[in-house]
Amino acid sequence: MTRGTQGSQGSQGSQGSQGSPGSPTTQGPHRALIAGLATAIGSLPHTDAGAAAAFALRATPELAAAPQLPTRSALEGMLAQWLRGLPEVSVAPDGTFSVTSAIDVDAPVDTTFDPIAHGGLLTFVDVATAQPRVPQRIKAQLTGPLTLGVALERAGVPNEIAFGRATALARAWARAIERLVRERLPETELVLFFDEPALVLWNDDVPPIDHEHAGDLLSGAFAAVDCATGVHVCGNGDARLALAAGPDVLGIDVSPRWLADAAGLARFLDAGGFVAWGAVPTDRPVGESAAPLWRSLVELWCELTRRGCDGVLLRSRAMVTPSCGMAAHGVSQAEHSLALARDLAGRVFDQAAATKLTVGA
């Protein structure tokens, strides 16, 4: 079940206002989620962790994302970074991994943060802690249990064991990230995303595991932490499965394919969920102006409204991101993409506030 949130944000040009009249917020246990936040999916092209942290905090200060830096080190790849926690897995310096010992399904996960494999996250926390004013909220991310399970199965681990170990791994790392942020940034709210590119496999006639079991495993990962949680559905991934797992935030790109899931999105929004719209494409060049991207997002909202979604909720529970990570981009391209995302987020915030005022909120 999704959990409601509370909080407020000033306009993109004047961040930091608290509880301003007409702020498009949702009440509930998490202050982290408000309308009109811009953030990154996670990976950046930087090779210097300090520069990446400073860039993340500057580019999307309302919800800066702790960067993952696979260009800096292959050990920060989305599989290598987390599979290293399993005692039966060996990760090579080039990021490849193998199962090197018999699997004890009860063996504990080692969630020791490594200065190389987790350099982006650790440096980000250091830099955020040193700010004159610590961030009100930040985003971090890790690979989800379904994607980790698929990786382990492909490495030769039997299916049932692979997904069980993957879920234990994702839950353990999620708790470790939450604990790190709580200890180092006790006044900062955390939004923790699980990246699930493997969700595309659940569109197949024979998925790796059945949909109900997959949803239970993903839901169990969300339940491991107290902070707000999200799931990033890459490309044509199975958003219905992600919704059934009950995240606080669903990350999807701006695409007409989600019209078929309008009823599920409507229920998700009604229950307090937020959608992080991947409105800035990362698979093709984007222009200098945010206007065409804004038009695409609004057109999708209008069609979703015609299919049963609440138009007010589409705006008041919307965030903006690039459509995917930006490790393969140049630094200037990443800067431009996040500038566009923040421009769009400002428009979302303004529309959300205006819409709520119009209906008397």
Q: Name 112's bridge partners.
A: none
Task: Please report which confidence band the pLDDT of residue 358 belongs to, taking 50, 70 and 90 as the band edges.
Answer: low
What pairing do the DSSP bridges indicate for beta strands 137-143 and 189-195?
parallel
Task: Please report which confidence band the pLDDT of residue 357 belongs to, taking 50, 70 and 90 as the band edges.
Answer: low
C-alpha torsion sign, points 159, 160, 161, 164: positive
CA angle 171, 205, 210 (to 5 degrees): 30
Of 74, 38, 58, nearest in space to 124 by CA: 58
Task: Please report which confidence band the pLDDT of residue 48 belongs to, taking 50, 70 and 90 as the band edges.
Answer: very high
Task: Please report which confidence band the pLDDT of residue 360 belongs to, taking 50, 70 and 90 as the band edges.
Answer: low
- For residue 300, what are its two tokens? 């999708």
Q: Name 98's bridge partners.
A: 90
Residue 224, pLDDT > 50, answer yes
Q: Which 8-state DSSP code applies to residue 76?
A: G
pLDDT in tens, 252-297: 999 999 999 999 999 999 999 999 999 999 999 999 999 999 999 9
Reduced to 3 states (helix: H, G, I; strand: E, B; else coil), residue 43 is strand
Overall pTM surpassing 0.85 (yes/no): yes
Instruction: Identify the pLDDT of residue 32.
Output: 81
CA-CA distance, 137 to 298, in Å (whole number)? 27
pLDDT in tens, 121-174: 999 999 999 999 999 999 999 999 999 999 999 999 999 999 999 999 999 999
Instruction: Identify the pLDDT of residue 111.
Output: 98
Instruction: Identify the pLDDT of residue 42.
Output: 85
CA-CA distance, 351 to 361, in Å (whole number)? 13
CATH architecture of 49-358: Alpha-Beta Barrel (3.20)
Instruction: Identify the pLDDT of residue 240.
Output: 96
User: Please, are residues 91 and 73 in contact by the beta-carbon 8 Å criterion?
Assistant: no
Kindly provide the residue ranges of all beta strands, DSSP E only, lying in the chain, ordered along the sequence. Answer: 64-65, 89-91, 97-99, 137-143, 189-195, 228-232, 249-253, 274-280, 318-322
Instruction: Identify the pLDDT of residue 16.
Output: 38
CA-CA distance, 231 to 226, in Å (whole number)? 15
Task: Please report which confidence band the pLDDT of residue 207 belongs to, taking 50, 70 and 90 as the band edges.
Answer: very high
Instruction: Identify the pLDDT of residue 125.
Output: 98
Of 237, 216, 229, nearest in space to 167 by CA: 216
pLDDT in tens, 49-84: 999 999 999 999 999 999 999 999 999 999 999 999
Q: Kindly state the average pLDDT of the residues 180-191.
A: 98
User: Please, are residues 22 and 305 in contact by the beta-carbon 8 Å criterion?
Assistant: no
Residue 28, pLDDT > 90, answer no
Give 3-state DSSP helix, strand, coil % of the chain, rounded to 5.
Answer: 45, 15, 45
Instruction: Identify the pLDDT of residue 157.
Output: 97
CA-CA distance, 69 to 353, in Å (whole number)? 36
Average pLDDT, rounded, for the chain? 91
Instruction: Identify the pLDDT of residue 189.
Output: 97
Reduced to 3 states (helix: H, G, I; strand: E, B; else coil), residue 351 is helix
For tokens 């949130």, the residue is: 5
One-letter identity of residue 61? P
One-letter identity of residue 189? E
